Amino acid sequence: MCFGGLVLLNITALTFRGEGLGFAAGDRAVGWRVANTVPGDIVEAEPLETERGPRRARLLQVLEPSPDRVASACEQSERCGGCQLRCVSLPRQHAHKMEAWRDTLERLAGIAFAPARVHAAAAQDGARGSAVLQAQGSENSWTLGMRPRGSRVDKSEASLREGSVPSTARESDQGGPAIDLARCPAQTPDVRELIAEVRSRLALLPDTLRSRLGLVRVEGAESLVGGARVVFGVRGEGLSEDERTSLVTAAGEGRSVLWKKMHASQQGFEVGAAPQVLSGSGELWVRGLDGLELRYGAESWIPNSLENARAVGRHLLTVVDELVGPRCAGLVEFGCGVGTHSFELAERAERFVGIDRSRSAIRDAEANAALRQRTGLVFRVGRAERLVRKLASSGVRAELAVMHSMRLPFGWQLIRGLRALGTRFVVHVSPSAMALAKDAADLAREGFVLSRLELLDTMPHTYHCMGVSSFERVT
C-alpha cells in the first residue's frame, strides 16, 4: 500500500527493534515506524510503499529534537541499519532495553518482573571483533559491505538459478551505495583495516569466482596465534586450485583462510556445511577468563566481541557465587561451547559436565581442558534435552544448571529433565528476551521462581543485549 504526501509525526515510543513509533495529529489509531528517531521528536517524514505490515516512513527532517537525541558518532548511521539506536542517549537506550525485556516476559510468560539494571559496556565503540560482509555489485562494479536499511534484494528463481548475487539491484533500488564497514566505529581498528585490505584485493579475483561470492566473514579478534581469519562464502560446488589460490591472495598473508558453501537462499552460509581450510590452521587463539589461551577451531563460532564476552563471564561467575557459595555438589553447563566459561565454573563444583550440540566446539573444549591440565571435567556432544535424561539415569546430580541460550529457548523437554538431576538453581544466559520468556514459563511450571534478572549492554547503540537471570526451585 502506498501513501502519498508527507506526514508530520510526534514520536512517542520505540519499538522493540529500535524504530521510533510516531502518530500524526488527529490519528492515534495506527502509528508510523520511522528509523533514526527518538521519543519526544517531532519529525517530517515521507511515507514508504509497503505491501503488508505496519506503516513505515523515511525521516526527512527533525523539526523539534527530543532531549534524549544525541549526535551520531557514525557518518553512515542514517542509512545503516546496524546500530538502530545511534541517535538515542545512552540512559534512554538502557531504559528502552529494560522496558522491552520486562514487556516480553509479561507478554510471553505471564511473569511481571523488571530487570534490576543494565550494566554498561566497557567501551561504547571499537569492540566488535568480527564482521560479515556482503559481496555486492554488478559486472563492472563490485564492493564488500552491508546493504543499506530498506534495500531490496532480488530473490527471484531466475536470479538464483543464473547464479547472480541477489544484492545486484541498481544503486537507486538499494538506497545508495553499500555501507562501508571499514569506516564503522563499532568495529575494532584491526577489523576495519582488515576489511579495507580484503576489499581492495577483490579486483584480483577472476570474474567467474567473484560472481560466485556471497558473504565474507572477517575475524580479527585479538588472535594470539596465527593472525586473523577470513571466511569466504561461495555459491556452487567446490573450487578449482586456481580459485583457491586467488582467495588466499585476496585475504592477505599470514591469515587463516577458509571457504564455506552458501545457503540456497544466498542470504547466509549453508547450515551444517563445514568450512574448508585453504590456508593456515583455520584456528583462532584468544585469551580466556583465566588469562590462558582458548582455541576456537575452524568450525567453532567465536563471540562478536571478546571483551564483552569476558564481561558476561565475570558477571555470570558473580551470580553463581551468590547462589551456591564457593562450591556446589554438581554443575551442568548447557551450551558450553569451546569452554569459554567452563573452567571457571568447574572450579565451583565437585563435579562438572559441559554439553553442546556442536561436535567441533566439544573438541575445542577438550583441547582447552588439556591445555590447562584439567582432569575430571566431562564434555558431551548432543542435544541437551536427550542428554539430560541419560545423565540422570547414570546417576549424575547437578545442584546448579547454567543454560546458555543463543536465540532459541531450550524448551520444556530439557527443563522437565532438571527435576531428575536434582537441580535447585538455574542461571539462564541469553541475548534473546523471547528465549528467556519461553524458558521462564517452562521453569515456572517446574517450580522454579525467577529471582534475578540483569542486562549487560554487550552491543551498545543496538536493541541487542545479554540477559543473565537466576531461578530457584521452591516446590
How far apart, in whole angstroms, are the C-alpha atoms of residue 65 and residue 352? 54
Q: Pick from 405, 457, 454, 400: which is nearest to 425 by CA?
A: 400
Return the pLDDT at 473. 95
Tally of CB atoms within 10 A around 13: 13
150-197 pLDDT, tens digit each: 654 443 333 333 333 333 333 334 456 788 889 999 998 888 999 988
Return the pLDDT at 137. 61
Domain 130-290 in CATH 3.30.300.30? The answer is no
pTM for the whole structure: 0.89
Work out whether strand 293-296 and strand 331-334 pair parallel, antiparallel, or are unpaired.
Answer: unpaired
How far apart, in whole angstroms, are the C-alpha atoms of residue 56 and residue 129? 33
9 SS3 class:
strand
Q: Cα angle at 469 between 467 and 474, to 5 degrees?
A: 160
Return the pLDDT at 271. 66
How far apart, in whole angstroms, are the C-alpha atoms of residue 174 and residue 165? 14
Matching fold, domains 99-123+305-473 and 130-290 = no
Alpha-carbon distance values, 438 to 111, 384, 411, 430, 453 (Å): 11, 16, 8, 12, 15
Paired with 256 in beta bridges are 229
pLDDT beneath 70: ranges in the chain: 1-4, 51-53, 137-142, 150-176, 221-226, 264-267, 271-272, 475
Q: At what angle do helices 433-445 and 90-109 cross, to 10 degrees?
A: 40
CA quadruple 63, 68, 71, 75: dihedral, nearest 10: -90
Q: What sign results for the dihedral spanned by CA atoms 168, 169, 171, 176?
A: negative
52-91 pLDDT, tens digit each: 668 899 999 999 999 999 999 899 988 888 899 999 999 9
Domain 7-69 in CATH 2.40.440.10? The answer is no
Fold category of 99-123+305-473 in CATH: Rossmann fold (3.40.50)
Q: Where are the domains of the chain?
A: 7-69, 99-123+305-473, 130-290
